[in-house]
Amino acid sequence: MLGEIFHRFIEESSVTVMTRGLLERLLNPEQLDGWFERTAEKQYTRELLFSTVVGLMMQVVCGIRKSLNVAYQALEHEMPVSVQSVYNKINGLETPISAGLVRYAAAEAMGLIEELGGTRPALLPGYRVKRLDGNCLEASEHRLKELRELSGGALPGKSLVVYDPAVGLAVDVFPCEDGHAQERSLLSAVLATVSAREVWVEDRNFCVRWFLLGIEDRNGFFVVREHQQLPWKALEAMREVGQTATGQVAEQAIEVIDEQGQARTWRRIQVRLNKPTRDGDNTIYILTNLPTTVNACTVAELYRKRWKIEIYQPCNLRKTLAMLKKWLKGAARCGVHVAAHAAVRVQRHRPESATVDVMSWCPAVP
């Protein structure tokens, strides 16, 4: 019955169909509310549903409304609570809620990407590469008026974000409401998620001995820029091994002692850069425990492609939902017609968890 109408939307506004289908799948209200009830530790639902809050925030994040208050006013006749109650709900959201929303949506999106054959070629065949980086909310964002001009004012928060380049998604986050906390203080939580044959690519701020040893103990691997505070002993002299697009590569075997006094053998890779870094460094050193079957030039390229996370900050719901908007843009690489078709397939095979309302497709994607 709706075939002709549906195909018209696919032909004339296929990105709209794709976007709506993905949103319906990832942010299905019943799933969100059920997930919230299972995840929340202190908050509970009385009149205002978590899915309603997400819907309001999506309007702001996607640029449909200028602010949460404007979004609320547009739907005031449908809202069961006052605008102040909405703000109270958002202000009271626990960091595990924002983090869990990212993990939940990432898991749902990964299923669609894999179904569409949209995964990217493996950066390192036989391994799952993950990139870890930190991010901090800007000091001027939504601060108290009295503190906006003070450089020493309290920062809103920070997080560590895990990015999976194979699917182009942020798949995990570790938020912290203390913007002045050391990123390293969150590494224990990160370590608990490491699995065998994962390769964690990290900046030198995460070059912490106990953390790297922990990755190795969990049968994982790391590629991290060397920090001067990490102690090691050279087992051999540097030897030239090749050239990459950014410079000359050499490597050596080194020894690192763990907490039990046992020696671990790692590799130290030197890259003499053709052009200095923005900090003026002409040479960088990379540590890894990858086997020698992965040559030093490949390791250097893995680090060079390290994705720097600057937009993700899951300490508040607005930043969390902004991730979803970026994911939707990235999904276009799968082909808009295929994606629209997949949305229908999801509805046909899992009608209890996805709703396809063809008549209410939005006319444009922000």
Q: Is residue 4 part of a domain?
A: no
The answer to whether 221 and 127 are in contact (CB under 8 A) is yes
**C-alpha span between 208 and 282 (Å, rounded):** 23
* Predicted pLDDT at 133: 92
Number of domains making up the chain? 1
Q: What angle do CA 95, 75, 46 make, to 5 degrees?
A: 50
The answer to whether 86 and 48 are in contact (CB under 8 A) is yes
**C-alpha span between 53 and 47 (Å, rounded):** 11
* Predicted pLDDT at 250: 98
Tokens of 117: 């054959």
Q: Is residue 275 part of a domain?
A: yes
**pLDDT digit of tens for each residue in the chain (366 aa)?**
445 555 666 667 776 777 677 777 777 888 889 888 888 888 888 899 999 998 898 888 777 888 899 999 999 998 999 999 999 988 888 888 888 888 988 888 888 788 878 899 999 999 999 999 987 765 544 556 666 666 565 666 788 999 999 998 899 999 888 877 889 999 999 999 999 999 999 999 999 999 999 999 999 999 999 999 999 999 999 999 999 999 999 999 999 999 999 999 999 999 999 999 888 999 999 999 999 999 999 999 999 987 444 444 444 455 555 555 554 444 443 333 333 333 333 333 333 333 333 223 333 333
Q: Is residue 193 part of a domain?
A: no
Q: Is residue 191 part of a domain?
A: no
Q: Is residue 330 part of a domain?
A: no
Q: Is residue 8 part of a domain?
A: no
Q: Is residue 221 part of a domain?
A: yes
CATH number at residue 218: 3.90.350.10
Q: Is residue 287 part of a domain?
A: yes
Which residue segment(s) compose the domain that 279 sits in?
Answer: 204-305
Residue from 284, 273, 130 nearest 202 by CA = 130
- What's the chain's length in residues? 366
**C-alpha span between 64 and 365 (Å, rounded):** 9
Q: pTM for the complete prediction?
A: 0.75
Report in angstroms the alpha-carbon separations of 169 from 129, 133, 248, 326.
Answer: 12, 13, 32, 9
